[in-house]
Structure 1
Amino acid sequence: MIRILLTTVLPLLAPAILYGLWLLFARRQARDLDAGRDSLAVRVPWMALLLAGAALTAISLLYFGISSGTDPWADHRPPALRDGAVVPGGVR
């Protein structure tokens, strides 16, 4: 479950969380400068958020692809029934 959270959910939510933090900061700054809220809609960094999400997802997929699993040439043995007992499968 933690792997799914780290490889899928976190990279997808991180840009949205960063955008929320940026939006809070920008609204406070706009309020201090006595600017209208419409000016914030024009300055939303959608492309930067999209690229940040894609980069975080790619980095996490590469990291877990390299650091976990078995060798690509490993031999997979499925579970088998031998002499009335189930022999567990595995990767050798």
Structure 2
Amino acid sequence: MSRILLQYLLPLVLPTVLFFLYTWISGPRQGDQGAAAQAQRAPWFWLILAGFVLMAAGLAFTALTGGGIAGSEYIPPRFEDGRVVPAEIR
């Protein structure tokens, strides 16, 4: 569950959260009519694009740095002597 949160949800939501946090901290501008007007003027395309770029970068990083050594063998989890032996890479 934490892997899904860190690799998919957080990168997609982070740019939008940072944008709204920035606009909330910077205070109301002259002529602002509240949060609804602020949400309508938000740069949604760029926020979503930034989220997808962050998500792709996270997935690429995981793909390039994770895994076993080339030529190694994956041993799936198995049941031995009444207990489950976890998976391993040899």
Decide whether aligned partners of structure 1 residues 26 and 42 sit closer, same or farther in structure 2, where only a CA change above 3 A counts.
farther
Matches of 1:5 and 1:58 in 2, distance apart?
14
**TM-score, normalising length: structure 1:** 0.63
> Which residue number corresponds to residue 19 of structure 1?
19
Give the number of aligned pairs: 86
Question: Does structure 1 conserve the Cα–Cα contact (< 8 Å) formed by 2:11 and 2:55?
Answer: yes
Q: Structure 2: which 5+ runs fail to align?
A: none
Secondary structure, counterpart of 1:28 in structure 2: coil
Tell me if structure 1 keeps the 8 A contact 2:11–2:51. yes
Instruction: Report SS of the residue matched to 2:11.
Output: helix
| Bigger share in helix | 1
For 1:46-83, what per-residue CA distance to the aligned partner results, in whole angstroms no more than 9, with x for missing partners?
A: 110110110110111111111122246432223365xx
In structure 1, the gaps of 5 or more residues are none
Identity rate of aligned residues, in percent?
30
RMSD: 3.3
1:69 to 67, 78, 90: 67
CA distance in 1, matches of 2:38, 2:83: 64
**What letter corresponds to residue 51 of structure 1 in structure 2?**
L
Alpha-carbon separation, structure 2, partners of 1:24 and 1:90: 48
Give the letter for the 1:75 counterpart: E
Structure 2 distance, partners of 1:51, 1:45, is 10
Indicate the residue corresponding to 2:41 in structure 1.
43
Q: TM-score, normalised by structure 2?
A: 0.64
